Amino acid sequence: MKFVKDVTGRLGLSPLQKCTTAIRVLAYGSALDAVDEYLRLGATTTRLCVENFVEAIIYLFGDEYLRRPTPNDLQRLLHIGELRGFPGMIGSIDCTLNDINVLDRSPVFDDIINGRTPQVNFSVNGREYDMAYYLTDGIYPKWATFIQSIPIPQEPKAVMFAQRQEAARKDVERAFGVLQARFAIVKNPALCWDKVKIGKIMRTCIILHNMIVEKERDEGTQYDVSNFQQGEGSESSHVDFTYSTEIPTNLANQMGVRTKIRDRQAHQQLKGDLVEHIWRKFGRDQDNN
């Protein structure tokens, strides 16, 4: 391994050594002293390299690769969700038990509560809705923004809904599986890092993962959002591009939105409409089998 001279003329570690060390620790989840012989770095220096590396990646690329969905992104997600039988669905959530315990303080819905998100409108089973939702597992509360599967479905409609919901949710599980496969530090015990540094390491791995996906993605798989604009085709899900996200909010409005998100009755109504919608959309295929 080649050493370089610093400004005082002393031999020191090259940037290549330092970056290689950090990437190896992230990719292989190895101990900090495991690169001693290969890269000639001790555990303390290796730790410092990793910390500086993740800080730099977040600073340089965080705004681009960890940004919130734009209206165009939301329209693309709505299009994909509707093709799968879930109008108004913008993705899946799969968090840990601790995340559930502090869901009231979670930033997941901060933008919605503070009026910083575009308006999403869709119709299901002849009923109009104006708040997008996520697919989740049974650990999540029955809120208007969460749609769980049916644990023990009995009727054909419920069986089909459960199959479609669980199949759609596999995306988030696969994505996390790929993340773990690429960066072993995500799945290994984090014994030498504190909570703040673990968060930065996770964000760095996600940024690098998104960069890899962007690099490897074929041009033919890119979505042209102009195909998903309101009025194109027969889709019911669309983002209101004229909706202003600069509307000032007050405490009363925030409490109203929070109550709307937690509405259990709205959750049951949306879930029932989705069961009927999916049966009408895909039930014929089952009858033919």
Span 31-43, average pLDDT: 74
The pLDDT tens digits for 186-238 are 888 777 788 899 989 999 999 999 998 888 865 545 555 455 444 444 577 88
Question: What is the chain's length?
Answer: 289
Residue 117 has pLDDT above 50, yes or no: yes
The vertex-80 CA angle with 74 and 81, nearest 5°, equals 85
pTM: 0.75
Return the amino acid letter for 48: L
Tell me the pairing of strands 146-147 and 133-135: parallel
Query: What is the average per-residue pLDDT within 130-150?
Result: 90
Q: Inform me whether the pLDDT recorded for 109 exceeds 90.
A: no
Confidence band, pLDDT 50/70/90 cuts, at residue 102: low
Residue 141 banded pLDDT, cuts 50, 70, 90? confident
Strand bridging mode 11-12 / 4-5? antiparallel
Torsion, CA 115, CA 106, CA 191, CA 207, rounded to 10: -30
* Residue 246, amino acid: E
Token digits of residue 185: 């530090």
Q: How far apart are CA 1 and CA 43, in angstroms?
A: 17
Q: At what angle do helices 15-28 and 195-216 cross, to 10 degrees?
A: 100
Q: What is the DSSP letter of 87?
A: T
